[in-house]
Each structure stands twice: as structure tokens, then as C-alpha cells.
Structure 1
Amino acid sequence: MASDRVCVGAIAGAFGVRGEVRLKSFCAQPEAIAAYAPLWSEDDTRQFSVRLGQAIPNGFSARLSGIDTREEAEALKGLRLFADRERLPALPDDEFYHADLIGLTVLDTGGAVLGRVSAVLNHGAGDILEIQRPGKGNALLPFTLAVVPTVDLAAGRIIADPPEGLWE
């Protein structure tokens, strides 16, 4: 996948019998996903224009260019969709695209390396950083201002003040 693209949504399956898909948007304003088209598959082999339909639980019904049958729509289930970064809005200083956080080195407030961000998770209660610790497995770190006071994208690092006992 091109590094100048950001994951903005995923196909959750077919919707109806005429080739529409269930589209889950990862955007702060979910309906904005259509404005970021064309959307690309992760492997850069397919691109889609998007026309949103009705809001449905956990997303939208949507029509993607080139998808005309239920079988074609169902075959896309699980496909993550990416938008060109230049089509996305600029963010305020205290907000970040998940793609920009993955791979950053995580340091504690004393400068000791804790690990690298391997994923950004969100199960509804806020973002959580998955930190890959060298030789120790992974740990989860709440992505809050109290726990992660500094994100320095230019330097490629995050300064964290993890809760007591998290790294044992």
C-alpha cells in the first residue's frame, strides 16, 4: 500500500441484492468518507468511487463503482479502504491519524525505550496504543493526554507516562 494513503473504512459485507455494500466508516464524521474518494484497496489494485445510501447499524449502505451484484459485494467483505492523504482534512495539533502513530518509538518520561507502536485500537471507549516491547511481548497503553503527554511525529517518538505496574 502506498504510504501516502490512510485507512478510512472497511466493507462489512453485502447489503441487499443489487450490489450495494455495508460500509463501515472510520472517519470522525462518518458520512465524509464519500468525499475522500476514490478509495483504494490495501494492495493498490482496485479503486472505487463511493455513493452513500442510507445509514444502517454500524455504517452505511453504499454503492461502489464496478460492483453490480450481491456476489461481487459479498466478495469484498473485510476489504479495508484507503484514501489519498491529500484528500483528507488537516488535523489540529492534538489529533493524529492512526497511520501516523504506528511505528513510532515509545519512551518513558525518563527517556528509556518502552517499545514501538504496532497498532492503534478502539473498541468504543477511546483509543489504545498496542506497544510491541522488545523481548517482552505486547502491552496496551491508553491514548490519553495523562498517559501520553507528548506525540512528536517529526522526531518519530511518543513520550508516555504509563500507569504504575503496566510494564511489569
Structure 2
Amino acid sequence: MSSPDDQKVLMAKIGAAHGIRGEVRVKPFGEDPLSFADYGILTDKIGSRTFEVEKARVQKTVVITKFKEVKDRNQAEELNGVELYVERAQLPDPEEDEFYYSDLNGLSVLDHDDTQLGKIVAVQDFGAGDLLEIRPKRGRTFYIPFTKAFVPEISLSDGYVRAQLPEDYFSEEGSDESEAASPDK
């Protein structure tokens, strides 16, 4: 497992151009929508391009951003879809019970009796809260809520999280029973 200090952390993703002066819409990842602008130089995933925020303002669900390197709309349009990263070492240490998603990727997921359920491959949020996406040794990935009730223990130093899943968590019978009980049928 690589150390956190040699990792890049995804901070935001550039979207469509905004206006004619080289501004872009940026979708930030994090609680503070403007925090991606606080860490100096941002890079693309491989580090071949750098971006320095000249100014940024929140507008609804995006941050309208002007990068010093982008002079006009044509240059802005070319950036659509570029992900913006910082070096993990640039970020402050998280508070107790806070984690950077990049630190969770690759951790083993163990159940109450140390059986490995899989490894964390991503942290997703589809609108109802954070979910850990887990890849088992065989089969399709599955999700568990990233809450204290479902994930009561996290040990970054030992490389695992402990999942507390209800006995019927992987059962698909619940949806069939609710359909049969529906008065519409």
C-alpha cells in the first residue's frame, strides 16, 4: 500500500466553459466548495498540466473559476472533464473520525468475525450520503453506507475497516415481498 504522502487527492473536476473570458464551471469535492482554491497549484491526474486559481465564486452547485493559465473561451472549452488534484502532503491532517476518501481506497473490509468481504474501491455519493463501494474477490461490487452504524471501526494503520452488516443485507427477498404486498397488484 502506498503511503498517503505520495498520493494525489482529487479536489474538483472542471466542467463547461462559462462566458467568454476563460472562466469554467468547477464541481468541487469536499464540504467547503471553495477549498480546492486554498492549496496553491493544482494539477491534472498525471501532473503534466498545472492550474492556479486567479478567482473563484460559488454559483448554485458549481464554482465559477478563472485560472491564470486560461485566457479565453476556446482554452476553457478544452478543459471540460479535467480532474484537479493536489498532493496528499499539502492537505492538513484530518480531525478525529474524519478521513480523506483517497486514504480509504484499497482498505480491506472485514466483517465481525474477520472474514474479508472485499476491498474499498471508491467512496460514492449519489445524493443520500456517502457509500463505500466494495469489490469482493468474486462478483460485482456492492455498496454499504459509510456511517458509524455500518462501519464502526476504521484502522488506516492496519489497512482495514470493519463492517457491521445486518444478517439479511445481501438478501433480495425483501423487494419481492413488498411488491407482493402492494395493493396495486
TM-score in terms of structure 2 length: 0.85
Note the residue ranges of structure 1 that are not aligned, 5 or more in a row: none
Percent of residue pairs bearing the same amino acid type? 36
Note the residue ranges of structure 2 that are not aligned, 5 or more in a row: 172-185
- Does 2:117 align with 1:114? yes
- How far residue 162 of structure 1 moved from its aligned partner, in angstroms, is 1.6
- Does 2:141 align with 1:138? yes
Contact 1:139 1:167 in 2 (8 A): no
Contact 1:36 1:84 in 2 (8 A): no
- Aligned equivalents of 1:85, 1:129: Cα separation in 2: 20
Paired residues in the alignment total 167
- Aligned equivalents of 2:89, 2:150: Cα separation in 1: 30
- How far residue 60 of structure 1 moved from its aligned partner, in angstroms, is 1.2
Normalized per residue, which structure has more strand? 1
- How far residue 31 of structure 1 moved from its aligned partner, in angstroms, is 1.4
Q: Which residue of 2 aligns with 1:87?
A: 90
Q: Which residue of 2 aligns with 1:96?
A: 99
SS at match of 2:170: coil
SS at match of 1:62: strand
RMSD: 1.5
Q: Which residue of 1 aligns with 2:39?
A: 36
- Aligned equivalents of 1:32, 1:104: Cα separation in 2: 26
Contact 2:17 2:80 in 1 (8 A): yes
SS at match of 2:25: strand
Higher alpha-carbon Rg = 2
Normalized per residue, which structure has more helix? 2
Aligned 1:1-168 pairs, distance under 5 A: 3-168=6-171
- How far residue 163 of structure 1 moved from its aligned partner, in angstroms, is 2.7
TM-score in terms of structure 1 length: 0.93
Contact 2:34 2:57 in 1 (8 A): no
